[in-house]
């Protein structure tokens, strides 16, 4: 079932249906002077859900940071084309305004910045960039309350400082809340499922599924089959030691669950 | 508006202060308390004394009261204009006959004469000043506002002046005082404010130091807190090329409370000094100090806090914390907190940290589409948040926030220029 050939041939079903939303080609990147990504190829057509799986330390979070534009995660070779634009030339905030959203594996605590202030500033920054009118305090609160309710995020969490003192599960739901408020085009979910109990996982999966549309794509980093049962992926990529060693359809995930990453060990070298 | 000649009783006090100032001399960096702030280098000591201000308030300094209402205004240390006083409050000039007993009882009483400070110089040279007296049991709802303006220009050349304010709150009285300092041009404002709180009295004291960036501002604040009296201060230092806010507080009665929250914001080549001496002289006192500084460009900050707990001051609870955020490699912070404890049953703590912007938090905010400059601003405001939260008077907090944003914009421009 596994195709060992070039990127995304396993999803060839939408042949030529417009340009891909995201095309990563031969991407290399270093962190603290060490090469962590050693040639990544992933093409995500609009509307598809792609999954990146791989052992700890393979470079999955590094890939997500490079896509989001974090300082210190330096691309050294290859290219990333997003909506026809050179993504790597854009600043972090420009990428976000162009519709890229990274749900962090470890969301950052920011004491002193209240949720409402943070979320409103972000939503309005993005609205301004799209030439839309900004939401006033009342309009924003109404929207935030509605979305928070859908995600079981308590209203008092909006008043608290961003992520400060939140439990692991609360942080993940808070990431999902930001995602539904910002309505991105490309969602990068870095282990959004870890640390969630099954009910919370279902809530988050529902939010993600609720946002799926023909012009939105998802790049989902996960270890867990159970999330794949809730959000049906179009394509699975296996990332080992900075390289995509295999790309295939859902059956690849089942295979991984049965026999682990060891079967790919040879290709990683 | 011409002033009557100074009465002899006040002249005597003035001569005394002058003699003390001459005996100690001006502070130099060899003085322990002035190790980090080079007053001599500022050149301010050479600025000639401003003449008594004879005009109305200059248009360029049109009064913008912070808390609404009519402020008491000093221009170059001279009290300008008239005022009305609410029930239970007397407001007068230092040299008015009514003020004599208060002035003789309190002027210079809290600030220790032995320590070298510029307070004695003020005592020798002030041209004018105000006395506020809140009578026993009077609890004022509306704030009293005092505005000290500095006015110098190319024609006048740099000037020096010595604003003086005495606030006496009698038993069980309460008032809110909003003190602001602004101005144009180069000048040296050497301000002294003395606060005497009688038993069970209270003062909420806000100070906004937003002087001209060519100015030098040295302020000495003396506070005596009697039994069960409560002093709550909030300070913003943002103006002046060189500024020092020096506090001498004495908790001299049982269960006295002293609180001081300070925020300071330095840009360009500003040097901002906060120096406090808090003495617990009686049992059961509580003091809390929180200073937060943001320093950008080449700005330098100083925090020196000394808490002295005398043997008699059992059950004292004293805390001070100083935190500084450095926004550029050229900015710096010096100083130290110091505890001297002679009582054995006390709770005391102090801390001192210097850090820079949390890059991870910055990335998180930017990854949501917030521009880098706005994200920095959010993080800086977050850093100052707990000080700002303690500013309970809304218009004052809004002024604090507005001054902070204006300064940060200025700091950014300073970087773009280079
Ligand atoms: N900020 C960093 N500094 C130094 N090394 C890092 C940093 N971030 C990631 N790495 C290294 O990069 C490699 C890949 O890490 P990561 O991308 O987090 O893996 P994954 O998400 O697949 O578990 C690891 O060896 C890790 O130690
Ligand atoms: Mg990871």
Task: Give the integer Cα–Cα distance in Å for B245 and B223.
Answer: 13
B332 Cβ neighbours under 8 A, 6+ residues apart: B295, B299, B300, B301, B326
Residue B388 is assigned to a structural domain of this protein: no
Q: Between chains, do B382 and A110 touch, taking CB under 8 Å as contact?
A: yes
B242 Cβ neighbours under 8 A, 6+ residues apart: B37, B39, B42, B44, B216, B217, B270, B271, B273
* Centre of ligand 2 from the C-alpha of residue A241, in Å: 13
CA angle A109, A114, A115 (to 5 degrees): 80
Beta bridge partners of B250: B224, B279
Residue of B nearest to A120 (CA): B370
Task: Give the integer Cα–Cα distance in Å for B314 and B227.
Answer: 14
A69 neighbourhood in chain B, CB within 8 Å: 366-367
Number of domains forming the structure of chain B: 1
Helices first, then strands: H and E counts in chain B: 7, 20
What's the confidence (pLDDT) of residue B112? Answer: 76
Using a 6 Å CB cutoff, which residues line ligand 1?
A 31-32, 36, 54, 56-62
What is the span of the domain harbouring residue B146?
8-358
CATH class of A1-98+234-269: alpha beta
- Each domain of chain A, given as residue ranges in start order, spans 1-98+234-269
Total count of residues recorded for chain A:
269
Give which of A124, A115, A100 is closest to A162, Cα–Cα: A115
What's the confidence (pLDDT) of residue B63? Answer: 67
Let me know: does A176 contact A202? Beta carbons within 8 Å: no
Q: Which helix (H) or strand (E) holds A44?
A: strand A34-44
Total count of residues recorded for chain B:
418
Let me know: does A38 contact A30? Beta carbons within 8 Å: no
pLDDT per position as a tens digit, A37-80: 999 999 999 999 999 999 999 999 999 999 999 999 999 999 99
Give the nearest partner residue to A112 out of B366, B370, B385, using CB atoms. B385
**Residue to test with chain A: of B290, B366, B369, B405, most A Cβ within 10 A:** B369
R_g of chain A computed on alpha carbons: 18
Let me know: does A237 contact A209? Beta carbons within 8 Å: no
CA angle A106, A112, A113 (to 5 degrees): 70
* Centre of ligand 1 from the C-alpha of residue A245, in Å: 18
Residue B176 is assigned to a structural domain of this protein: yes
Give which of B261, B297, B300, B287 is closest to B385, Cα–Cα: B261
Residue B76 is assigned to a structural domain of this protein: yes
The pair phi, psi for residue B298, each rounded to 5°, is -105, 15
Let me know: does B359 contact B389? Beta carbons within 8 Å: no
Print burial letters for B146-179: b (CB count within 10 Å at least 16), e (below 16). bbbbbbbeeeeebbbbbbbbbbbbbbbbbbbbbb
Task: Give the integer Cα–Cα distance in Å for A33 and A74.
Answer: 9
Q: Between chains, do A108 and B370 touch, taking CB under 8 Å as contact?
A: no
B162 Cβ neighbours under 8 A, 6+ residues apart: B77, B121, B122, B125, B126, B127, B189, B190, B191, B192
A122 touches chain B (CB under 8 A): yes
What's the confidence (pLDDT) of residue A11? Answer: 43
Let me know: does B159 contact B50? Beta carbons within 8 Å: yes
Q: Which ranges of chain A have pLDDT less than 70?
A: 1-18, 265-269
R_g of chain B computed on alpha carbons: 21
What's the confidence (pLDDT) of residue A6? Answer: 43
Give which of B276, B239, B240 is closest to B258, Cα–Cα: B276
Provide the percentage of residues in chain A whose pLDDT is more than 90: 71
A66 touches chain B (CB under 8 A): no
pTM over 0.90? The answer is no
What's the confidence (pLDDT) of residue A266? Answer: 61
* Centre of ligand 1 from the C-alpha of residue A254, in Å: 26
Q: Between chains, do A97 and B364 touch, taking CB under 8 Å as contact?
A: no
Beta bridge partners of A142: none
Beta bridge partners of B243: B217, B272
Task: Give the integer Cα–Cα distance in Å for B339 and B114.
Answer: 20
Full 3-state SS string of B99-126? HHHHHHHHCCCCCCCCCCCCHHHHHHHC
Residue B399 is assigned to a structural domain of this protein: no
Per-10-residue mean pLDDT for chain B, 418 residues long?
Answer: 67 90 90 93 95 88 76 95 90 92 89 80 94 97 95 95 97 97 97 98 97 97 98 97 97 98 96 97 98 96 97 97 96 92 95 95 98 93 92 93 86 68
Residue B110 is assigned to a structural domain of this protein: yes
In Å, how far are A73, A88, A133 from A69, measured between CA atoms?
8, 7, 27
Give the nearest partner residue to A121 out of B364, B370, B385, using CB atoms. B370
ipTM of the complex: 0.92
Number of neighbouring beta carbons within 10 Å of residue B330: 13
B363 touches chain A (CB under 8 A): yes
B368 neighbourhood in chain A, CB within 8 Å: 96, 101, 118, 122, 125-126, 178, 182
pLDDT per position as a tens digit, A157-176: 999 999 999 998 899 999 99
B35 Cβ neighbours under 8 A, 6+ residues apart: B29
Which atom of ligand 1 approaches the CA of A190 most closely?
21
């Amino acid at each position: 079932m596994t195709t060992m050939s070039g990127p995304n041939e396993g999803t060839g079903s939408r042949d030529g249906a417009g340009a891909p939303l995201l095309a990563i080609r031969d991407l290399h990147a270093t962190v603290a002077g060490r090469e962590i990504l050693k040639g990544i190829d992933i093409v995500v057509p609009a509307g598809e859900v792609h999954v990146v799986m791989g052992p700890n330390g393979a470079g999955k979070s590094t890939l997500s940071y490079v896509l989001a534009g974090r300082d210190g995660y330096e691309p050294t070779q290859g290219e990333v084309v997003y909506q026809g634009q050179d993504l790597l030339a854009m600043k972090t905030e420009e990428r976000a305004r162009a519709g890229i959203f990274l749900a962090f594996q470890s969301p950052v605590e920011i004491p002193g910045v209240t949720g409402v202030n943070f979320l409103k500033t972000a939503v309005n920054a993005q609205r301004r960039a799209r030439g839309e009118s900004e939401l006033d305090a009342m309009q924003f609160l109404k929207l935030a309350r509605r979305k928070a309710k859908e995600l079981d995020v308590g209203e008092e969490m909006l008043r608290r400082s961003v992520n400060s003192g939140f439990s692991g599960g609360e942080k993940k739901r808070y990431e999902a809340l930001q995602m539904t408020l910002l309505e991105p085009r490309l969602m990068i979910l870095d282990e959004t499922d870890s640390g969630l109990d099954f009910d919370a996982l279902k809530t988050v999966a529902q939010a993600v599924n609720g946002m799926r549309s023909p012009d939105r794509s998802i790049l989902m980093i996960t270890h867990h089959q159970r999330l794949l049962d809730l959000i049906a992926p179009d394509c699975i990529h296996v990332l080992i030691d900075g390289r995509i060693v295999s790309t295939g359809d859902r059956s690849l995930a089942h295979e991984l669950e049965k026999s682990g990453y060891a079967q790919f060990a040879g290709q990683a070298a | 508006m011409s002033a009557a000649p100074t009465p002899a009783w006040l002249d005597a006090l003035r001569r005394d202060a002058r003699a003390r100032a001459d005996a100690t001399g001006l502070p130099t960096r060899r003085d322990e308390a002035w190790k980090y702030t080079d007053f001599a280098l500022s050149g301010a000591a050479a600025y000639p004394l401003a003449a008594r201000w004879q005009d109305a308030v200059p248009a360029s300094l049109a009064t913008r009261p912070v808390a609404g209402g009519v402020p008491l205004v000093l221009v170059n240390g001279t009290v300008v204009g008239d005022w009305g006083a609410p029930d239970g409050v007397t407001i007068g000039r230092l040299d008015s006959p009514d003020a004599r007993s208060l002035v003789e009882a309190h002027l210079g009483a809290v600030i220790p004469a032995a320590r070298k400070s510029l307070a004695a110089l003020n005592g020798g040279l002030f041209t004018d000043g105000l006395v506020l007296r809140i009578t026993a049991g009077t609890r004022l709802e509306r704030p009293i506002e005092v505005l000290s303006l500095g006015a110098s220009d190319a024609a006048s050349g740099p000037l020096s002046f010595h604003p003086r304010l005495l606030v006496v709150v009698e038993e069980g009285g309460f008032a809110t005082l909003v003190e602001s300092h602004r101005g144009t041009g180069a000048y040296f404002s050497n301000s002294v404010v003395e606060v005497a709180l009688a038993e069970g009295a209270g003062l909420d004291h806000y100070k906004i130091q937003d002087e001209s960036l060519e100015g030098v501002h040295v302020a000495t604040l003396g506070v005596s807190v009697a039994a069960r009296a409560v002093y709550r201060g909030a300070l913003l230092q943002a103006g002046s090329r060189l500024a020092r806010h020096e506090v001498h507080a004495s908790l001299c009665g049982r269960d006295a409370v002293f609180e001081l929250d300070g925020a300071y914001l330095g840009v360009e080549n500003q040097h901002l000094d906060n120096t406090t001496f808090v003495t617990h002289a009686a049992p059961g006192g509580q003091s809390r100090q929180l200073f937060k500084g943001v320093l950008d460009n080449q700005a330098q900050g100083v925090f020196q806090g000394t808490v002295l707990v005398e043997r008699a001051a059992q059950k004292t609870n004293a805390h001070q914390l100083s935190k500084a955020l450095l926004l550029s490699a050229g900015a710096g912070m010096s100083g130290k907190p110091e505890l001297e404890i002679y009582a054995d049953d006390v709770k005391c703590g102090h801390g001192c940290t210097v850090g820079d912007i949390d890059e991870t938090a910055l990335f998180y905010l930017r990854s949501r589409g917030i521009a880098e400059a706005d994200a920095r601003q959010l993080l800086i405001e977050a850093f100052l948040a707990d000080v700002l939260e303690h500013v309970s008077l809304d218009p004052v907090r809004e002024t604090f926030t507005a001054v902070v944003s204006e300064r940060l914009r200025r700091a950014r421009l300073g970087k773009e220029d280079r």
